[in-house]
Structure 1
Amino acid sequence: MHPTTAEPIGTDALQALARRSHDVIAEHQAPSGAYPASPTFSAYRGYAWYRDGAFTAEGMSRYGAVASVDAFHDWATRVLVARADVVRSLVARRAAGDEPGNEEMLPTRFTLDGADGNDPWWDFQTDGYGTWLWSVVTHAERHGLDLARWADGIAVATDYLAAFWDRPCYDWWEEHVGHRHGSTFGAIFAGLTAAARSGALDAARADAAAAAAERIRATVLAEAVADGHLAKWVGSTAVDASLAACAVPYGLVAPGSPLAVGTLDAIRRDLATPGVHRFAADVFYGGGQWLLLTCLLGWNEAATGDVAAARARLEWVAAHATPEGHLPEQVPDHLLHPEARAEWLERWGTVATPLLWSHGMYLVLADELGLLPPKDER
């Protein structure tokens, strides 16, 4: 079933929101180059994530904001290079049979100037580093850039992921630390695959990255499939909307393949109305519909030729922009667990608005549909 909005939104309005999305991201990009997750939301303010930033960078790269994206990748590289000795030690310890604690691993988010930060967080995730590798290589390929500028950061991230790709960690949503997650596997696969082909690595690292990527694919196919779709984590039968990324853009499963189709069908069946929920048990702010995930599903639909469905997703997202043209993290149109919403409002205040990741994903889907403004009007 194709998604619909109450009133169709015309191309001019969709292009105007794309301009606004670019402007929101550019306005809030830190002098360091970091893309803050959300400039005002109490729990995110002052922090940047590799995952959020990498997808935001992809949207800005497609828009043509090359200098902005270069600056983000500069920031990401500086953060990694500053921790190169930490990564070398972690990798060596694991190779020697000494498993580091989660608190010793690289953080998932950093302050805008690249420090670790002092606020407690659910802080060991590997998907962000994989998504960043995919993002920086994709950006360089799109614009014909020399990856030597970011090669040192690419090497550090590659070493880290090649050593720890199979270790349980928090998922995209800072939850379920004791599991190995399908979308995390996808992110690392995409990152190591991109790094291996990039030409930015020495031969030994490139070979190690490619070999680890193939082990990831084999592990997923053997252990993280249930009922014809990718599983939220190894041993689960549930679906998570982030799994759509395993087809597009991560390429862990081929778009249009039976496993990709089964995964998208399960997401549409269980989580899309037409806005997209994270997962069925989600209680965060009552379990609303996430704009960035709606764009992700639309991205997959566009990539496999279902342009009508993809445009309807984009229109649904555009219909939820605030009067200021801000896109929130999620909306409460169709809460899965409404009884849980008040707790989060009391704890952290209103939903993150704007969320730069939402704006970045809007740009991605608009580009897929040929709905970015003409280049001479940006």
Structure 2
Amino acid sequence: MPRRPVVAAAVLVALAAGLIAWGATGPRTRTIELYSEGVVATPAGPELVPAGGEPLLHTGTRVVDDPATTADDDLAAEQRAWLAAGTVPGADGPYADLVTDALLDLRTLVQDDGAAVAAWTPYWRYVWPRDASFVAVALARTGHGADAREVLGFLTRVQGEDGSFEARYLPDGSGAVPDDRAPQTDGTGWSLWAAGEVLAATPEADRAAVAAELAPLVRRGAAHAVALVAGDGLPPASPDYWEVAEDELTLGTVAPLLAGLEAAGPVLDLLGDDAAARDARDAAARTRAAVERAFGDDTAYGRYAGGSLPDAASAFALPPFQPTALDGALEGWTASAAAMARPAGGLAPGAGWRQDGISWTPQTSLYALTAAVNGDDAQARERLDWLDAHRTSMGALPEKVLADGSPAAVAPLAWTAACVVLAVAALDG
């Protein structure tokens, strides 16, 4: 009888769990092309730079320098003035270029009506409430409060009367959705979290006025979040940032809702909505206890309650998303990265994600941010160094990095850019 090859026990376990897609020569790797080097601003609007493109830009901007016209000069001056009006975290350190480019990309991706598109590549040229919320916080934390409020203003206009959000929206502000994806409950949580963070970044003298501006978003969202967790403190199942249908509650849904409930109380206090603030706080306490029981006791904050694989959503159980870490969440989050690691050095969305060798920059930058906020500066810098080294030739942060280290898919990605800005800001302290 032919002898079977000896396979390491860990690999056998991974195969049995469906963690490794095994091919003729070992674990499969997937190849995805780079869709663009970045996005540039022109007098006619943003334009993609195709892979391999090398546009001539005005110094210190994302504005194309067209020798045939001077129409772009004013646009370049506007971008420089915008950057100078705020702060650039890490401006005196090794991440100055990384953060500057990330901020300029966010400036280019946020449209005049506050529509913060995820990327400029057509299939990504939509507003996800999740991504937009992170963009708003990054803008607020760098001194661009008016821009942050415009982003939240867009979310207010498309928000359902019941406080809910669809998965994504057309950027024209019509509230129309581009496909039949199901609503994603985490959008309510993320928008509330962002509102709280934007208010916290506002000078104290202006907070009452800003709270009044955010009132419709927060009042509707808080009431919806309270209703979702009524009863046992846990909401119904919903798709989350994995963008797949779910019939079981994920940490990626309930943790953002908890973050939103925690953030809503102080905003509602400032608005004088005492009963609504009390309801939000009571719901937050109930949900926090429920999440600690369902996801923390034996599951180490994995994707599902009752025992599951590690997931990047474990970061959502820690600051800056929660006022304090949930019981056991720091240990679960710290342990999760090893199971999510990918060959090029970044992370996948979770240990249960397909084993195609691809690193995802949103999750890698999310871990940089979480590490920086929770005192693990070494990990934060290691992940930021990796992100810095895997940008496109234009300096844009791509969505994915292949197993060989090549940037892939869309660039820039707003969610990643926002997390990078916030991570370096957290390191600056």
| Residue matched to 1:322 | 392
CA distance in 2, matches of 1:304, 1:169: 28
Aligned mate of 2:124, from 15, 28, 44: 44
- Residue 142 (structure 1) aligned with residue 142 (structure 2): no
CA distance in 1, matches of 2:151, 2:401: 28
- Higher radius of gyration, 1 or 2: 2
| Residue matched to 1:177 | 246
Call closer, same or farther: CA 1:36–1:131 in 2, change over 3 Å.
same
Deviation at 1:142, TM superposition (A): 1.4
- Residue 74 (structure 1) aligned with residue 153 (structure 2): yes
- Residue 209 (structure 1) aligned with residue 280 (structure 2): yes
Query: Residue 292 of structure 1 contacts residue 362 of structure 1 at CA under 8 Å; is this kept in 2?
Result: no
| Residue matched to 1:130 | 189
Aligned pairs for 1:1-378 (under 5 A) are 12-40=93-121, 42-45=122-125, 47-80=126-159, 83-84=160-161, 87=162, 106-144=165-203, 145=207, 146-165=210-229, 166-198=235-267, 199=269, 200=271, 202-225=273-296, 227=298, 229-251=300-322, 254-255=324-325, 259-272=328-341, 274-283=345-354, 286=356, 288-333=358-403, 351-370=409-428
CA distance in 1, matches of 2:293, 2:177: 39
CA distance in 2, matches of 1:215, 1:135: 21
Query: Residue 288 of structure 1 contacts residue 334 of structure 1 at CA under 8 Å; is this kept in 2?
Result: no
Query: Residue 109 of structure 1 contacts residue 123 of structure 1 at CA under 8 Å; is this kept in 2?
Result: no
TM score, norm. by length of structure 2: 0.70
Query: Residue 301 of structure 1 contacts residue 309 of structure 1 at CA under 8 Å; is this kept in 2?
Result: yes
Call closer, same or farther: CA 1:270–1:11 in 2, change over 3 Å.
farther
Deviation at 1:13, TM superposition (A): 4.8
CA distance in 1, matches of 2:165, 2:188: 10
Matching residue's letter, 1:355? L
CA distance in 2, matches of 1:300, 1:26: 24
Deviation at 1:309, TM superposition (A): 1.7
Query: Residue 244 of structure 1 contacts residue 263 of structure 1 at CA under 8 Å; is this kept in 2?
Result: no
Matching residue's letter, 1:302? A
Taking only aligned residues, the RMSD between alpha carbons, in angstroms, comes to: 2.5
TM score, norm. by length of structure 1: 0.79
CA distance in 1, matches of 2:243, 2:357: 15
Partner secondary structure for residue 111 of structure 2: coil
Partner secondary structure for residue 124 of structure 2: coil
Deviation at 1:302, TM superposition (A): 2.1
Partner secondary structure for residue 143 of structure 1: coil
Spell out, residue by residue over 1:301-334, the C-alpha distance to the aligned partner (whole angstroms, 9 max, x if none).
2233221221111111111111111111121127
Spell out, residue by residue over 1:97-135, the C-alpha distance to the aligned partner (whole angstroms, 9 max, x if none).
xxxxxxxx6412111123343532432211122111111
CA distance in 2, matches of 1:73, 1:116: 14
Deviation at 1:182, TM superposition (A): 1.2
Query: Residue 289 of structure 1 contacts residue 334 of structure 1 at CA under 8 Å; is this kept in 2?
Result: no
CA distance in 2, matches of 1:190, 1:129: 10
CA distance in 1, matches of 2:175, 2:149: 22
Query: Residue 158 of structure 2 contacts residue 175 of structure 2 at CA under 8 Å; is this kept in 1?
Result: no
Partner secondary structure for residue 31 of structure 1: coil
Greater alpha carbon shift after TM alignment, 322-331 vs 259-268: 259-268
Deviation at 1:236, TM superposition (A): 3.8
Q: Please identify runs of 4+ aligned residues in structure 1 that moved more than 6 A.
A: none
Deviation at 1:11, TM superposition (A): 6.3
Greater alpha carbon shift after TM alignment, 106-115 vs 354-363: 106-115
| Residue matched to 1:102 | none
Task: Determine which structure has greater relative contact order: mean sequence separation of CA pairs < 8 Å that are 6+ residues apart, divided by chain length.
Answer: 1
Query: Residue 361 of structure 2 contacts residue 416 of structure 2 at CA under 8 Å; is this kept in 1?
Result: yes
Spell out, residue by residue over 1:331-375, the C-alpha distance to the aligned partner (whole angstroms, 9 max, x if none).
11279xxxxxxxxxxxxxx6122111111111011111229xxxx
Aligned residues between the structures: 324
Deviation at 1:160, TM superposition (A): 1.4
Flag the structure with higher helix content. Answer: 1
Query: Residue 137 of structure 1 contacts residue 147 of structure 1 at CA under 8 Å; is this kept in 2?
Result: no
CA distance in 2, matches of 1:134, 1:25: 19
Call closer, same or farther: CA 1:359–1:207 in 2, change over 3 Å.
same
Matching residue's letter, 2:349? R
CA distance in 1, matches of 2:167, 2:94: 35
Structure 2 spans left out of the alignment, 5+ residues: 1-90, 230-234
Matching residue's letter, 1:219? A
Identity of aligned residues (%): 27
Matching residue's letter, 1:215? R
Query: Residue 33 of structure 1 contacts residue 73 of structure 1 at CA under 8 Å; is this kept in 2?
Result: yes
CA distance in 1, matches of 2:93, 2:278: 47
Call closer, same or farther: CA 1:129–1:118 in 2, change over 3 Å.
closer
Call closer, same or farther: CA 1:177–1:17 in 2, change over 3 Å.
same
